[in-house]
Structure 1
Amino acid sequence: MTAKPFAVSFAVSLAAFMEILDTTITNVALTHIAGDLSASMEESTWILTSYLVTNAIILPVSGWCSERFGRKRYFIGCIVGFTIASFLCGIATSLPALLFFRSLQGIAGGGLQPSQQAIIKDSFPVEKLGSAFAVVGLVNVCAPVIGPALGGCITDALSWRWIFFINVPVGILAAVLVKKLVPSEGDTPVKLSLDYMGFSFLAVGIGALQVALDTAEQHDWFADAGITALFSISFISMTLTILWLLRQEHPIVNLRLFAIPRFTIACVMMFFTGMLVNVSVMLLPQLVQKYYGYDATTAGMILVPGGLVMLVLLPLTGKLLKKVKPGYLIVFGMFISAVGMWVSRGITLYSDSFYFAGMRILQILGTPFLFVSLLAVAFSRIPAAESNHASALISLMKNLGGSFGISLMTSYLTHHQQIEQAYLVSQLTPDHVGYVLGLNQYAGVMQQAHVPSLLSAGALTHGVLLQIYQALQMQAGILAFVDTFQLLAGLFLGLTVLAVLLSVKTHT
């Protein structure tokens, strides 16, 4: 094979990597942004939400945009728009301005992932698609992992504005490379009229869903009338979207692709793979920062060894697809993901960074087998003319999986912290040996640290109970994280069984 397909892959992946990176790189900088722009932490979370909402709305229609404007032209336009929006985010002087520019960034970025996948898929011959999808998987898996670590380093060393400014030179380079390397032959724009009704239904449905998922935990889900209304609006709008689009000759989103069993199966599995990647990226740094005293940079660095493992495994997975059926690799990936989540049972108060880094490697070990194999299954029955639409749908499923996963797991984590705390409190009784030993130990430490004559019995008792309660809260919090990892382990074990059944049924 000539080097041309890989050169094309590098060019388009550089742009997609930049966009996916921006979904996680801002997470660790929210505190700094809120302080600099005189905003509350709750207000600053809209920096994430504004991007995710507009990005999610554009994702499914990016296939139509590629046809309407020409895929290469549309892709370069998205890169330029994303780069300009990134610069404007960096110079924003108020929260409303930053939210507006982040929305523009999301609109421009929505077309990058699907276009990247479609261009790479069409650049490689059929027998080399494993290598092509390994490149796609590399971007989709490594970018979210690197984001928090890179964001922490940039924020600590420079300022939060540089997490946006860094996109400018990358965007310029990507646009130049795509202009030069991606062929234009056969990429003729098609005169298509915009389906305003279909787009309106879709935009309202996905937008309301994304806002609801991003804010549900803060407002106690369906206990809040606003969240209930958002989910209701989303359900009605998405139902109308489906009914409308299936009646159109040239729909803005080709839902008829879901009539292809392998594509539908791959999309469902990709939903959960997106959940795995995004939730695990969120949970582990949050755990070590909250209960082990890690700063943002150190917490992000724990994810790096897992990313390095990805660099090795993704090309290997691409080669394995030539010899092993993708269905078997999907089963293996699901099972290893379940095992990686299950080993969290070993977390203790004394776990160190080496343990967490090793746990992270196990958590992410199955992901390359999932991404590459699922893309191979998804595109195995897709005509070349539908590559753009198929890429848009599978990218949407991956992103929605991440949004659902983060929202649901955050709620589960909060709820189980209360459950674990209630259980531990129930053990604090005079007849419980551990409680009595803890009382005596803390009392001894406090008596050594203070002048006994100045420390009254009441103050000593109060101080001891306060120490025990703080230790209890910490233990309950860690156990809640373990519970959440165990839930994910059970989920992916169930998906392993489902993958076995589907693999046998579809002979993939």
Structure 2
Amino acid sequence: MQAEPQQGEYGANPWLIAILVSVATFMEVLDTTIANVALRYISGGLAVSSDEASWVVTTYLVANSIVLCASGWIAQMFGRKNFFLVCIALFTVASLLCGFAWNLQSLLVFRIMQGLAGGGMTPVAQSILAAAFPPAKRGQGFALYGIAVVVAPVVGPTLGGWLSDNFSWHWCFLINVPVGIVTLALIYLIIPQSKTQREARAKLWAKGFNFDIVGFLLVATFLGALEVVLDRGQVDDWFGSSFIVGFAVLSVLALIAFVPWELSREQPLIDIRMLAQRQFGTCFVIMLATGALLIATTQILPQLLQERYGYTATLAGLVISPGGLVTMVMMVIVGRLGGVQPRWLIALGATIAAGAMVDLLRLSPDADYWYFAMSRIYLGIGLPLIFIPITTASYDGIPPDKTDQASAMINLARNFGGSIGVSVSQTVLAQREQFHNSRLVEHIGAWNPVLHDTLAGIQSYLRSQNATGDTAGAAMALIGRIVENQAALLAYIDVFVALAAIAALMIPLALSLRTVDRSAKPAIGH
């Protein structure tokens, strides 16, 4: 009984296993955001519009979300290690192909391959960690894994911006190749095959091939169509577009068919009854909100800095870096807070995250680097207080044969929550910018004496600089640009209000979680 507290199921050094699977996970999660700041380079390099280039992000997330649903079954039938190795190999090859893509169509195909491989990699890595560590050390193991999952989306824009500014957008994908090769070799050599898992797989195969193909097709249709609606809705005028209406109807019909189908299966693809359990269902919703905060802020802040403050892609990414460093430190600290109940840590983390968003409501045209960097630091303190405890709480009460599926569903929540967060942010930004612009323009009229004084002052300045031509027209154009910029900043403030509301929603949800019995041995899926 003394061996178990030291090594866990695999009989190997759990920390070495944790490092290897965390590196692989870091590489995969990095690709959810590394291309965000490189989209304008991709658009120019492949001669496509910015809207078309955005599919580079969307296709990855769609494929990633879909395969998550089947990853638990595949890991059980073929073995965690085997499936993990195949995912890393496919991800590495797809990254190489993305780097050499010759047009947008080929890049999208290779990004789908990347997403399929990455979607299987993340939940299996978490299951490997749960099996590698004994119960007493599992929180620390998840802390190391959490660094990869939370820091990677933060590092993505910085690294992607630097590579795009100094080399080319192709290196946003090619950088995965050497890391993937080394990680693949080390995992193959170091992580042993589990005897317990081999025996469990033999029993499963004896029952026959029981993959729920209908359920998989239905959930793939539901998630894929919904992802298209969320990503393209604002661009295509939401339900004013027959394209969006068609995909929305397809998504709803797939969901309506999926629920009764899964409830009638003896071995469903997704046990949706788990979502009806208060503990796991609440954790699922909290992880949706956490993903929305993490991915949306990582996407919206560099966009704000590049569009309205003139930052380069590299500098916009560097604004996020201090928060990433704080997150790494906090992951280690939170991993050692094993005696504190998850609900209190999650509530505290959500409060800090909401405060970080509220701090951004002070946004002004003269905001400097550290104003934005500090908001990321605050968020870097709050998110780890959510991420590790929610992982612990979600496993509470889950039977051993459902652990892999629980892992997949929690990761699906994080990933899909990120898509929802980005969609909400972009929709609020576009609609509120139009609103604020129309309200500000109402104050620009011949009746306004302030406008006359301002125009006169600008024209006087232009003449003093020896400007020629229509100085009145130039002055009016300058005022128009000022109004446009002010409307945009007010719209970004509204985005931060929406994200603060999402963070605040997590607080009562966290407090509703039950007390986790830490003396019980956590379930480990086989």
Deviation at 1:438, TM superposition (A): 2.8
Deviation at 1:488, TM superposition (A): 1.6
1:304 alignment counterpart? 321
Residue 423 of structure 1 pairs with residue 423 of structure 2:
no
Residue 393 of structure 1 pairs with residue 409 of structure 2:
yes
Deviation at 1:183, TM superposition (A): 3.0
Deviation at 1:51, TM superposition (A): 1.6
1:130 alignment counterpart? 139
2:17 alignment counterpart? 8
Conserved in 2, the CA contact under 8 Å of 1:266 and 1:377? yes
Query: Secondary structure of 1:183's match?
Result: coil
Change (3 A) 1:364 1:223: farther
331, 338, 344: which is aligned to 1:328? 344
Residue 507 of structure 1 pairs with residue 515 of structure 2:
yes
Distance 1:291 1:392 in 2: 38
Conserved in 1, the CA contact under 8 Å of 2:286 and 2:509? no
Describe how 1:289-300 pairs up with structure 2 within 5 A: 289-300=306-317
Deviation at 1:421, TM superposition (A): 1.2
Amino acid at match of 1:223: G
Deviation at 1:398, TM superposition (A): 0.8
Distance 1:393 1:365 in 2: 25
1:412 alignment counterpart? 428
Distance 1:493 1:259 in 2: 23
Deviation at 1:38, TM superposition (A): 2.6
Amino acid at match of 1:372: I
Deviation at 1:382, TM superposition (A): 1.7
Distance 2:456 2:359 in 1: 33
Distance 1:431 1:96 in 2: 54
Distance 1:38 1:450 in 2: 40
Distance 1:72 1:434 in 2: 70
Conserved in 1, the CA contact under 8 Å of 2:69 and 2:216? no
1:244 alignment counterpart? 261
Unaligned runs of 5+ in 2: 1-5, 517-526
Conserved in 2, the CA contact under 8 Å of 1:21 and 1:143? yes
Conserved in 2, the CA contact under 8 Å of 1:205 and 1:234? yes
Aligned pair count reads: 499
Residue 210 of structure 1 pairs with residue 218 of structure 2:
no
Residue 187 of structure 1 pairs with residue 197 of structure 2:
yes
Distance 2:504 2:25 in 1: 31
2:171 alignment counterpart? 162
Conserved in 1, the CA contact under 8 Å of 2:26 and 2:152? yes
243, 247, 258: which is aligned to 2:275? 258
After superposition, the C-alpha distances for 1:261-316 in whole angstroms (9 at most, x for unaligned) are 21111111000000000110011111111111001000000000000000110110
Distance 1:485 1:224 in 2: 28
TM-score, L = length of structure 1 = 0.94
59, 71, 95: which is aligned to 1:86? 95
Distance 2:361 2:414 in 1: 27
Describe how 1:486-505 pairs up with structure 2 within 5 A: 486-500=497-511, 502-503=512-513
1:384 alignment counterpart? 400
Deviation at 1:431, TM superposition (A): 6.3
Deviation at 1:187, TM superposition (A): 2.2
Conserved in 2, the CA contact under 8 Å of 1:5 and 1:124? yes
Distance 1:84 1:123 in 2: 28
* Larger displacement relative to structure 2 (425-434 or 148-157): 425-434
Deviation at 1:317, TM superposition (A): 0.6
* Larger displacement relative to structure 2 (263-272 or 491-500): 491-500
Deviation at 1:55, TM superposition (A): 1.4
Describe how 1:90-129 pairs up with structure 2 within 5 A: 90-129=99-138
Conserved in 2, the CA contact under 8 Å of 1:134 and 1:317? yes
Amino acid at match of 2:123: P
Residue 149 of structure 1 pairs with residue 166 of structure 2:
no
TM-score, L = length of structure 2 = 0.91
* Larger displacement relative to structure 2 (429-438 or 87-96): 429-438
Conserved in 2, the CA contact under 8 Å of 1:273 and 1:401? yes
Conserved in 2, the CA contact under 8 Å of 1:337 and 1:492? yes
Deviation at 1:358, TM superposition (A): 1.0
1:227 alignment counterpart? 244
Deviation at 1:36, TM superposition (A): 2.2
Conserved in 1, the CA contact under 8 Å of 2:37 and 2:302? no
Distance 1:291 1:433 in 2: 28
Unaligned runs of 5+ in 1: none
Change (3 A) 1:438 1:494: farther
Distance 1:434 1:496 in 2: 46
Conserved in 2, the CA contact under 8 Å of 1:424 and 1:472? yes
Distance 2:33 2:67 in 1: 19
457, 461, 465: which is aligned to 1:441? 457
Deviation at 1:432, TM superposition (A): 5.2
Distance 1:303 1:406 in 2: 17
After superposition, the C-alpha distances for 1:82-120 in whole angstroms (9 at most, x for unaligned) are 111111111221222111111111111110111111111
Deviation at 1:244, TM superposition (A): 1.0
Amino acid at match of 1:69: F
290, 315, 331: which is aligned to 1:273? 290
1:481 alignment counterpart? 492
Query: Secondary structure of 1:252's match?
Result: coil
Query: Secondary structure of 1:187's match?
Result: helix
Query: Secondary structure of 2:270's match?
Result: coil
Change (3 A) 1:165 1:494: closer
Question: Equivalent pairs: percent with the same residue?
Answer: 37
Change (3 A) 1:443 1:9: same
Taking only aligned residues, the RMSD between alpha carbons, in angstroms, comes to 1.7
Distance 1:370 1:434 in 2: 49
* Larger displacement relative to structure 2 (142-151 or 180-189): 180-189
Deviation at 1:330, TM superposition (A): 0.8
Distance 2:83 2:386 in 1: 29
Conserved in 2, the CA contact under 8 Å of 1:280 and 1:363? no
Amino acid at match of 1:499: A
Deviation at 1:184, TM superposition (A): 1.4
Conserved in 2, the CA contact under 8 Å of 1:216 and 1:227? yes
Deviation at 1:429, TM superposition (A): 4.5
35, 38, 42: which is aligned to 1:29? 38
Query: Secondary structure of 1:169's match?
Result: helix
Deviation at 1:41, TM superposition (A): 2.1
Distance 2:282 2:302 in 1: 31
